[in-house]
Amino acid sequence: MRRRSSVLECSDESVHLIVSPSGAGCTFVVSIDRYTGQLCHRGERGVDVFADHESAQDAANRGVFGVPRSVRPVEAILGYLVLGGSGHLLVAERVTPTVDLFGGHQIFTVQQTSWWQIPLLFPSSPSLFEDERLSLLKEVVVAQLHYYCDTLDVTRPFPSAHSQRSPRVEFSWNEFLAAPFAEIGLRECCPILVHGQAEDQAVVLGGGAAAFNIALLTRREAERAGSRFFACGLDADGEACGNEVECELIVWRTAPATAAHASEGEGEKDEGDTWVRWAAMLWRVGSPPIQCSVPLPAAGSGEEDAVLVHVRQREETGAAATATAAATYFQRLVEGSMCSKVVIVDLNRQQRGELEATELVRRMPRIKEGMEWETKVSRIDFN
C-alpha cells in the first residue's frame, strides 16, 4: 500500500499530522505542541492510532482533535524542525513513480516540495546565525534530485536484506529533519530520502529477442558531500570519501514459469507464475580514496581549472596515514556491498599535482593484508 499523509489545521491554531506509512498496517496522528513545537504521540488506539487513513480523517472531521479548519493531503512528510517561534514542516506535494522493480517495489522521485511554517503561541526570535542557516536549508533543492521507496531499502545494493526502516545513514539525506519523529518512535512517518537519480526503461531488441528492463539508481553520500575544495578524499577515520556517488545498474527479464525453469532453478520466482532472471553491477565515483585536499588556486595563476591534489600530512607519514584510513574505508565498502573483488580505476591525469595521489592509489592493493577480498588498480591517463 502506498503511503498517505495529510496535515490537519484546527480553528484553535493547532496542527496535527495524519500519516499512514506503507506496511505499517495503521495510521498515526502526530500533534504539534502549540507552545514548544514538539511532536506529541501517545500511541493509544482510537486516540492517535487508527486502523486506516479514512478512520483517522473521519475522527478529524468529527472534531476529535479540535474544530477542523482544513485538511490538506500531501504525498509525504519529509521532515520537521523547530527554530525560534515557529515549526517548519517540509512536505512533498507531488511525486512520480520512476522505477518499478520486480517484486512489487516502486521507487518515487520527488517532483515538488514546500516548507510550511507553523507559528507557535510563545514565539522567540531566532538568532541571526540561526536565521541564516534556516534560509540556506530552505534553499536546498529537493525536487527532481531525491527519491524514496516504501517497500525496499534503496540505501544498500539490491537486493537488500535489511528493512527500509534501518537504512545506511550515510545515504539518508533527511536524518536530521526526521529526528523529531524518531524521538517519539515514529521514524517511518518520514520516508528515507536518497539524493540521486532513479530511472528505468524497457528495452526490446530486434529479431524476436525477449524484452528486458534496465534500472539505474545513483545515491550520493551525505557524510562528506560538497565542492571539491571542501570535500576531497577520505576523512581522518576513513569513514567517508568526499563527493562519492554509488551507482547501481539492475537488469532483469521476466518469463512465465515452466517445468524447465523450475527444474533448473533459474532466476527467482516473482509474484504469480512468473520467473525473473536478473543481474546487477555496482560502482562508485568520487575523489581518490586517500587523505588529500584540493587547495584553492590564486586568481590569475592559470591553475583555476587544474586539479591539484595535495596529500595531507599527519603525525604519521602521508602514505602511512592514507593506508590506515583506506584500509578502514575498503573494509566498510566490502561489508556494505557484500562483494569479494574491488577494482579501482585511477582517472588522475599524469601531471603536476596529481602524481603523488596516483602513486598512493597504485599502492592500494598492498593495504589489505589480512583482508579477504581482491583489489585491482587500473589507470586511464586522459593525456
**pLDDT, tens digit, 9 for 90 and up, residues 145-166:** 999 999 999 999 998 888 877 8
C-alpha 54: how far from chain center: 30
Residue 251, phi then psi, degrees to nearest 5: -120, 130
Q: What is the DSSP letter of 239?
A: S
Non-local CB neighbours of 360 within 8 Å, separated by 6+ positions: 288, 290, 311, 318, 319, 322
Non-local CB neighbours of 195 within 8 Å, separated by 6+ positions: 145, 146, 171, 173, 219, 220, 222, 225
As a whole number, mean pLDDT of residues 210-215 equals 88
pLDDT in tens, 81-129: 998 789 999 999 999 999 999 988 999 999 999 999 999 987 778 888 8
Question: Taking the CA of residue 346 as centre, how many other CA atoms within 13 Å lie in the half-sphere pointing to its CB?
Answer: 22
- CA atoms of 241 and 286, how far apart (whole Å): 7
DSSP strands (E only) in the chain: 4-10, 15-20, 27-32, 39-40, 49-50, 68-74, 76-83, 86-101, 105-119, 146-149, 194-195, 198-203, 212-220, 245-256, 268-269, 274-285, 292-293, 310-311, 341-346, 374-379
* Residue 249: burial class (beta carbons within 10 Å; 0-12, 13-18, 19+): middle
- Rank 34-43, 160-169, 203-212 by mean pLDDT and report only the highest: 34-43
Q: What pTM value is reported for the model?
A: 0.84
- CA atoms of 127 and 371, how far apart (whole Å): 50
Residue 7 clears pLDDT 90, i.e. is over it: yes
Of residues 228, 238, 207, the one with CA closest to residue 293: 228
Distance (Å) of CA 42 to CA 47, 60, 79, 145, 184: 8, 16, 20, 35, 9
Cell 496535527 locates to: 16
Q: Looking at per-residue confidence, does 371 or 6 come out higher? A: 6
- CA atoms of 233 and 243, how far apart (whole Å): 8
Cis peptide before 159 (omega within 30 of 0): yes
Cell 538568532 locates to: 127
pLDDT in tens, 319-368: 555 667 777 777 777 777 666 677 777 776 666 555 556 666 666 555 55
Buried b (16+ CB within 10 A) or exposed e, 300-316: eeeeeeebbbebeeeee
CA angle 229, 230, 233 (to 5 degrees): 90
Q: What is the pLDDT of residue 297?
A: 60
Of residues 110, 97, 7, the one with CA closest to residue 60: 7
Residue 278 clears pLDDT 80, i.e. is over it: yes
For the CA atoms of 101, 282, 212, 267, the dihedral, rounded to the nearest 10 degrees, stands at -80
Q: What is the pLDDT of residue 162?
A: 86
Count of positions (residues) in the chain: 383
Paired strand residues for 18: 6, 29
Of residues 119, 121, 115, 118, the one with CA closest to residue 135: 115
